Amino acid sequence: MPMSFGRASKAKGGSLSSHMGSKDQDSASASVVPSLGLKYDTPTAAGMREDATSERRRPIGPAKRPATSDDDGNDDDDDDDDDDDDGLTVEERAANRELDRRRQEAGDDEDDDSDEDGSVDLGPEPGDGQGGSGQMPISDSVDLRDHSKTVSALAVDHAGARVATGGFDYDVKLWDFGGMTSAFRPFKSWEPAGTYWVHDLAWSASGDQLLVASGTPQPKLFDRDGNLLSTFNKGDIYIRDMKNTKGHVAEVTSCVWQPHHPGTFATASADSSLRLWSVEDPTKQQKVIVVRSKERGTRTKVTSMTFSHDSRTIAAGCFDGALHVWGSNTNAARPDKSIENAHERNNETSSVVFSRDNHTLATRGGDDTVKLWDLRSFRRPLATRDNLPNDYGQTSVIFSLDERTILTGTSVVRAQGSEELMRANEAGEAPRVVKDGAIEVMSRDDLSPIQRISVGKGNSVVRLHWASKINQLLASTSSGGVSVFYDPQISSRGALLCVGKRAKTQRVVDSYAEMPIITPLAGDAVSRGQGTSQAAKKRRLEKMRQDSQASKMPERPMAGPGKGGRIGAAATQHVVQSIWTGNTRTEDPREALLKYADKEEGKDKQWTGAWSKTQPKAIYAQGDDDDDDEGNGQDQERQGNK
C-alpha cells in the first residue's frame, strides 16, 4: 500500500495519498516521523506483503530539505503556489514529489506486483489455476502405490494437501502430504460401494467434502477424513421418463461440483440423464437434464461432463459419439448446441474440459483422438490429434496452468496377430507391449506434439491433474500407482514435504514388547476351576449338570407341548398308541414278505416262473447280523422244513 505525507495534496503530480481514496484510507493505521512531524500510512492487515518491492516504496529516514530558492527554473513553482493553502510546508511537498518520482522509476514492475499485493479482490490468483508458468514440473517424481488394480479416479483438493484415489479394486484411498513419510502410504482406505469399482471423485471447493461416483446409481458424499455424510437417492427403474424419477436408475459415470455454487454438484449416468443435486437434500435432485439420442431407443450413456469456469455452461459427451452443450440457467429441454458425430459411435468420450475463456472446449474420445472445439463456431473442431491410444473410459484431458498446452494420457499398445495371441496364451501372459503409455503434451493452437513424458514400462496413463497451488502434476496408471511429478525449483509443498521425511523405524525393544505372551492350557485351567473358590466351583458344576451337552447326559423326554424343535408327549399318548395298531413302523418288512413264500409253493408262479427250472428251490437271504436270535431261529426252522 503506498504511503503519503500529510493531507491530500493538490499538486499536479499528486501525492501517493491521492491514489488511496480519502474515505477508505481514514481507517488505515498511521505513524509520525518525529523529526519532521510527517504522517504516513502503514499497511493494514489486508495490505501488501513484506517483500523487497514494498521496501522500495517506503521512505527511509526524513526527506532532505530542498533548495529554498524562489525561482529554480521548474514549472512546479506554479503548483507550489496552488498548494499554499493545503496546509503543508515546502519540505512536506518536496517529500511527496520525491516519493512520486521513486514510484515512477519503479515502473511496470511495481504495477505487476500491485496485482498480487493489493487488498482488492481481483479473482483467483494464478496459483489457483487462473494462469501461471508454462514450465513443466517434471524434473523429479515419486509414486503413490497402494492399489492392486488400475487407478480410475483421481482428485486433489484446492489447497493441494490431500489426494483421493479410486480404482478397479473397489477401494478409495486418502493420502495426506503433510502426514506422509517417504514410504508414501495412505492414511485411510475403504470400499464406498462394495464390489463396484470407482468411476469418479471430486473434492468440494472448500476441501471438506469428497464426492464419490461408483458403479451404483447412488452418488455418496464423505467428509475430509472419509466418513460417510449422505447417500443420495436412487430412482424408480420402472418409470420410463427420467424426468419423473428422483434419482439415477443406472451407474453414475461422472461427478463434478458447480463453480461459484457451494453445496451444488452434478452427476452423469448411463440412464441418459444429468442431474443437479444439493448436499442439503439427498432425497431428490434439483434439476434433471435428459439426453436424447438420435439412434434407435432414444437413450445413450452419458460418459463424461463438466461445467465452464463461470458456471453458465454444461457440456457432456455420450456413448453414441455426440457432444451436447446446455446453458445452466435454461430449462434444458434440448441442448443449446450439439454435435452428433464429435467422436466415433459406440466409444466412450472419456473427458470433457473447458478453458478459462469459457468457450474453448477439449474432448478425449475412445476413438484414440483429442479434439479442440470453439462454442462460437461449433460445426467442426478447431484441431484434431489422432493416434493417441485410449483403452479406458476415464482417460483425462487437461489444460496446463497457462493454457498454452493440452495434456492427455495414452494407453499401452500391444502386439496383434494370431501368432502373438497363441504365444501369449501358451505362456499365460498378456501380449507383448509394443509401445508404452505416456503423458502427451500438445500445443493448444493445432494440437501438435511438444513433449512425451514416460510413466514407466508397460503402464497406461488414465487420470491427470495439475495442482496449481503446489505446481505438481499427478498421473494415475494402470499398474495401481499415481506418479507425482514435481520440480524443487518451481514446486512447493506437496510431495516435497514427504521426500525428506524418513519413515519411523521400529526399535528392537518395541518389537519384543509387542510379542504375545503364550500360556499353554490357560483356558483349560479356568474350565477346571483352578483359581476359583469352592462356592464358585459348586455353582459352575450345578450349571453344567443342567446342560445336557456339557454333562453328556441324554435328553429327557418332554412333558407337555414341544418346543425348540422337539416333539412333546401328552399324558394319554400311550393309550392312543395301544389303540392304533396299524402303524407299519413296528412291522418287520422281511417277515411280511416271507409269510407269502409258502403260499407260492405248488402254484403257477406268476412272478418267479422264470427261475422255476434254473432254481426250483427258492433260496432266501439270511437275516442281518443285527437281527435278534429269535428271528434267525425262525429263518433256520423255515429252511429246514423245506
Higher confidence at residue 92 or residue 537? 537
Query: Bridge-partner residues for 581, per DSSP?
Result: none
- Whether the per-residue pLDDT at 2 is higher than 50: the answer is no
With pLDDT > 90 as the criterion, what percentage of the chain qualifies? Answer: 48
Confidence of residue 31 (pLDDT cuts 50, 70, 90): very low
Q: What is the pLDDT of residues 390-445, one digit of tens each?
A: 999 999 999 999 999 999 999 999 887 777 777 877 777 778 788 999 999 999 99
Average pLDDT over the chain reads: 78
Q: What is the pLDDT of residues 17-28, one digit of tens each?
A: 333 344 444 433
Residues 6+ apart with CB under 8 A from 71: 77
Least confident of 2-6, 228-232, 451-455, 542-546: 2-6
Q: What is the pLDDT of residues 115-159, one digit of tens each?
A: 444 433 333 343 444 455 568 999 999 999 999 999 999 999 999
Give the pLDDT mean for 30-52: 40
Return the H-helix or E-strand segment holding 511.
helix 508-513
Which letter, b or e, does each residue of 432-450 get, where b requires 16 or more Cβ atoms within 10 Å of its Cβ?
A: eeeebbbbbbbebeebeee
Phi-psi region of 141 (alpha: psi -120 to 50; beta: other; left: phi over 0): beta
Q: Edge to edge, what strands does the sheet with 405-409 contain?
A: 397-399, 405-409, 438-443, 449-454
Give the pLDDT mean for 356-368: 94
What domains can be seen in the chain, in order of their start residue? 16-122 (no CATH), 151-499 (2.130.10.10)
Higher confidence at residue 83 or residue 486? 486
- Whether the per-residue pLDDT at 110 is higher than 90: the answer is no
Return the pLDDT at 250: 95
Q: Which residue carries 483403452 as its cell?
A: 391
- Whether the per-residue pLDDT at 72 is higher than 70: the answer is no
Return the pLDDT at 281: 93
Spatial distance between the Cα atoms of 584 and 324, rounded to a whole number of angstroms:
80
Closest by CA position to 323, among listed 295, 299, 298, 293? 293
Give the pLDDT mean for 72-98: 60
- Whether the per-residue pLDDT at 329 is higher than 60: the answer is yes
Q: What is the pLDDT of residues 581-595, one digit of tens each?
A: 666 677 788 888 777
Return the pLDDT at 24: 42
The three three-digit cell numbers of residue 240, written as one number: 420410463
Q: What predicted TM-score, i.e. pTM, was given to this entire model? A: 0.60
Return the pLDDT at 399: 96
With pLDDT > 70 as the criterion, what percentage of the chain qualifies? Answer: 70
Q: Where are the beta strands (DSSP E) in 90-197?
A: 140-145, 151-156, 162-167, 172-176, 188-190
